[in-house]
Structure 1
């Protein structure tokens, strides 16, 4: 006779854990941390309790809005009665320790929390202090530049944090998952299984004890991890950028500074960004409908300067609010009749940097982020090193009142330089469009891209320049037809030119003329441009290319370039 061992009930349950902002956890009225509409909603109960070491507030309820919206459609399609009801449950357990107030969310319980009282960065703070560096399973991150890109990568069995390709600058890690070690949780206490957690900028998802003593012990274990003075060395760079609570005093002061900046119409500290939601279809957009403060306009090109102008006419203190209430919709046609996005808040299309004494603040996709002094020092060090590298080409001064195309022709007069400005290649991969591989080909085969950066347009011209350099090299790498056609252009123009036709290890050069001929230094490049430049260098290096940056001096009247010889 075979005996079967009775299955033991689970000792833990998976939930989302929030840490709440409280000046005095011991005396905090826990009801003040819950949105009033749920406390007053019919069918919702808020009950104080004490059970062993746990002391707190339990809020529960169910919302039954009636028949599901899809019922009528199915009835119409089948002529059969369909009457199904949506029911959404809410559970929120709030408990105190000696130092903090925590909330455990069940169902849609997190929606009941006052968002201004959620401690931002809590989940990331915990994760980077206890995750196994070789057992990371998922990373979500945003790039802090004008591209508005969100990346999410997963590794089912887990891999080293460096395997996810996270930059040490200009990226916000908003979620990270993996196995933890060295944390005495109830889930891992028997030593037979590892714990898997997900930390984000609002919460931690993990297994917590199902009895009062075990849960309280787990909360204390979480606190001890967060008390560790520094993150693990492999994760330290992640903590250099942190989100600010939306309704904090600091965020309100930054809102006021941004509102004032919008009134000055100075876009040098601003850049157009694409909200993550719109990124996938942005390249298909032909027109944008912008509705701000009662004014509606459809444009073919959207830029930061235009968005700022739409808000400038508002009274002080109302400009940022106008952008937040305003909307931008993308359309796939020139008549603005084929929408390819929903109407997105206009402020989410702007990225802004606000420098301060020891930190910088970024407004990105409708939220403020703080960048610490160490992070900025790292960026400045990298940019300074890049700008100080010796260059393999020379570029003449930029004469006054000279357009970009005329300057390119002037630079091409130097011996060994070939002009390819506006001489595009076309292939199926480029969807019929033309792409400039470079403005000039240098005497050693350098792919030279030239840009005059007008200070009034902020970093937009430089972002475009860096993107162009990256895209042109990607095209040479991955589009054999484009590469062949570009080589044919070289052969027709100067068959004896020594450029390596394989472009296996090319050098990409950015020749930049800042307004007034100001020398290009880490102080004359805005932070957005610095981040974009460093990301571009990383991408080019990954394709086997070197990067050089040349600062173009200011010249006098239009002139011819002096011939120059190069090895």
Structure 2
């Protein structure tokens, strides 16, 4: 059985979706004690499975048979909430837009035994698109799961929990292995009055302080449901920002998770279906103004609809003719941040996230301290030319200094990483320097990913260090053997200033720092002197 919590106040039947294939056998009001509830049950019927033709073509056997899935849903209103108990396929009938996000997690934070967790599933809030699920049959503390305390969206947790206050806890006095996410999977009472008491006890537990829990960081960053009371205002602010209104919040560009590899290899981007005009092409040095100038011509009330329908396709050539990737929604190409009532809201990968203001301040303070780790390397002045090889020219110019070596575009290769850059420049003290013009969040993400991939390859793949030394000695024959441990992020276009970084970029830096520490590497920062590009002020605001 799964337990969900829903926004209260609706007629009970409105919480359930209408499913054409449902053969409903029970559909009526019932009473649990003096609480009027609603129950639905029956069978969900399906046609032949989608894979039937494939397996028949391979074996000659006809797999054309339908399937049945039994379901039951019990809706229990206990204002200000309505609880949904589902059995079998019943969860498929509950309207997901009304479900309280992370309700089960809120219970788990307060009641799970954090020293004996059995499973944790999470995803990273960055451009890596990393999703993980780790389990320990015998249980482990948080250290065993190597969870990142910053920018990690925990989706599910399982483990033994204290069920005091619930019927099971009262009758047995023992912990029980529960699973939590948006729903709570736990043993609940079979008798009506006891079930109502269990639901009230669960609600009280969710309202308890979480100061004692090692899992409390899980609650700091959560997805925002469409029914959230601030959604209308947030969407309005995003629409205003798309049209260039800087007072609405900070808008920037961000690479979509599902197109990182395509973007890396692109020569240009073709924008389709943005407004009533024909498609247009932008180069890989894409600027925010390439979009905001178009959105200004669209009425504010229509901008989000256009954001959803517009598509970006990567092209291998520089004129947008030869497609090299799949279409991605334009809504995944923007990052936006704004603050309402001391709560920070972030738009990332087409979804809204809530980040508690206290957590934002904590992140900011730690990033500010991290950015004090400055490199003493020297760099020439970077004057942008607008050419595609700007970065390479700058790296070659840097390497004209004594002790510096340019490795930009000099790719290494391993079975795990077929084509990657070890760094852009090697410093005189064997520093591995990664160089980037920070024109927006995509560049910041690329810089961090490149540094992490290179460092992990150097430490974890046996022949990479030899490849590095071979490449460096080919350019500097008298160079002693290298075993680098200092990683430098060198940036132009802006300085390394916490106030110029998106919250999610700050999270990425903290995660990179933590990873490099595990790899026995030191992270440093360098500001490259530069001449600004000619671009709109909005494009410069955040990375």
Give the SS at the match of 2:331.
Answer: helix
Q: What is the CA-CA distance between 1:410 and the residue it aligns to?
A: 4.2
Alpha-carbon distance in 2 for matches of 1:472, 1:509: 12
Q: Does 1:411 align with 2:393?
A: no
Cα distance 1:555–1:345, how it changes in 2: closer, same or farther (>3 A)?
A: closer
Alpha-carbon distance in 2 for matches of 1:349, 1:289: 13
Q: What is the CA-CA distance between 1:238 and the residue it aligns to?
A: 1.3
Give the SS at the match of 1:234.
Answer: coil
Aligned equivalent of 1:361? 345
Alpha-carbon distance in 2 for matches of 1:302, 1:66: 49
Q: Choose the corresponding residue for 2:432, options 447, 454, 469.
A: 447
Q: What is the CA-CA distance between 1:189 and the residue it aligns to?
A: 3.9
Q: Which moved more, 1:394-403 or 1:439-448?
A: 394-403
Cα distance 1:553–1:285, how it changes in 2: closer, same or farther (>3 A)?
A: closer
Q: Does 1:347 align with 2:328?
A: no
Q: What is the CA-CA distance between 1:177 and the residue it aligns to?
A: 1.6
Give the SS at the match of 1:133.
Answer: coil
Deviations 1:243-299 (A, max 9, x none): 2221333112211222222233999733434346x7899989999987536867899
How many aligned residue pairs are there?
522
Alpha-carbon distance in 2 for matches of 1:118, 1:57: 17
Correspondence 1:457-496 to 2 at 5 A? 458-494=440-476
Q: What is the CA-CA distance between 1:143 and the residue it aligns to?
A: 1.8
Cα distance 1:137–1:288, how it changes in 2: closer, same or farther (>3 A)?
A: farther
Alpha-carbon distance in 2 for matches of 1:431, 1:469: 13
> Contact between 1:93 and 1:104, CA under 8 Å: does it hold in 2?
yes
Deviations 1:291-329 (A, max 9, x none): 536867899979785777886764432232233245668
Q: Does 1:85 align with 2:66?
A: yes
Alpha-carbon distance in 2 for matches of 1:137, 1:145: 26
Aligned equivalent of 2:183? 203
> Contact between 2:123 and 2:130, CA under 8 Å: does it hold in 1?
yes
Q: What is the CA-CA distance between 1:385 and the residue it aligns to?
A: 0.5
Aligned equivalent of 1:539? 515
Give the SS at the match of 2:188.
Answer: strand
> Contact between 1:92 and 1:103, CA under 8 Å: does it hold in 2?
yes
Q: Which moved more, 1:385-394 or 1:117-126?
A: 385-394
Aligned equivalent of 2:496? 520
> Contact between 1:269 and 1:354, CA under 8 Å: does it hold in 2?
no
Cα distance 1:369–1:82, how it changes in 2: closer, same or farther (>3 A)?
A: closer
Deviations 1:62-112 (A, max 9, x none): 333555556667777777776633223331101134653211012232333
Cα distance 1:484–1:275, how it changes in 2: closer, same or farther (>3 A)?
A: closer
Aligned equivalent of 2:7? 21
Alpha-carbon distance in 1 for matches of 2:162, 2:65: 45
Q: Which runs of 5+ in 2 are unaligned?
A: 533-543
Q: Does 1:321 align with 2:305?
A: yes
Aligned equivalent of 2:486? 507
Q: Which moved more, 1:544-553 or 1:55-64?
A: 55-64
Deviations 1:393-439 (A, max 9, x none): 33355457694444434433444x31214361443537764x43223
Alpha-carbon distance in 1 for matches of 2:322, 2:139: 45
Q: Which of 1 and 2 has greater Rg?
A: 1
> Contact between 1:148 and 1:273, CA under 8 Å: does it hold in 2?
no
Q: Does 1:213 align with 2:197?
A: no
Q: What is the CA-CA distance between 1:551 and the residue it aligns to?
A: 1.9
Alpha-carbon distance in 1 for matches of 2:285, 2:225: 29
Give the SS at the match of 2:101.
Answer: coil
- RMSD over aligned CA atoms reads 4.0
> Contact between 2:241 and 2:251, CA under 8 Å: does it hold in 1?
no
Cα distance 1:205–1:522, how it changes in 2: closer, same or farther (>3 A)?
A: same
Correspondence 1:192-271 to 2 at 5 A? 193-200=174-181, 202-264=182-244, 269-271=251-253
Correspondence 1:59-78 to 2 at 5 A? 59-66=40-47
> Contact between 1:265 and 1:308, CA under 8 Å: does it hold in 2?
no
Aligned equivalent of 2:410? 424
Aligned equivalent of 1:176? 157
Q: Choose the corresponding residue for 1:374, options 358, 362, 377.
A: 358
Cα distance 1:157–1:167, how it changes in 2: closer, same or farther (>3 A)?
A: same
Q: Which moved more, 1:259-268 or 1:206-215?
A: 259-268
Q: Which runs of 5+ in 1 are unaligned?
A: 1-14, 557-567
Cα distance 1:410–1:67, how it changes in 2: closer, same or farther (>3 A)?
A: closer
Cα distance 1:427–1:31, how it changes in 2: closer, same or farther (>3 A)?
A: closer
Q: Does 1:134 align with 2:118?
A: no
> Contact between 2:250 and 2:336, CA under 8 Å: does it hold in 1?
no
Q: Which moved more, 1:370-379 or 1:353-362?
A: 353-362
Aligned equivalent of 2:75? 94
Cα distance 1:481–1:190, how it changes in 2: closer, same or farther (>3 A)?
A: same
> Contact between 2:164 and 2:170, CA under 8 Å: does it hold in 1?
no
Q: How high is the TM-score relative to the length of structure 2?
A: 0.82
Q: Which moved more, 1:148-157 or 1:403-412?
A: 403-412
Give the SS at the match of 1:207.
Answer: coil
Cα distance 1:347–1:398, how it changes in 2: closer, same or farther (>3 A)?
A: closer
Alpha-carbon distance in 1 for matches of 2:263, 2:188: 42
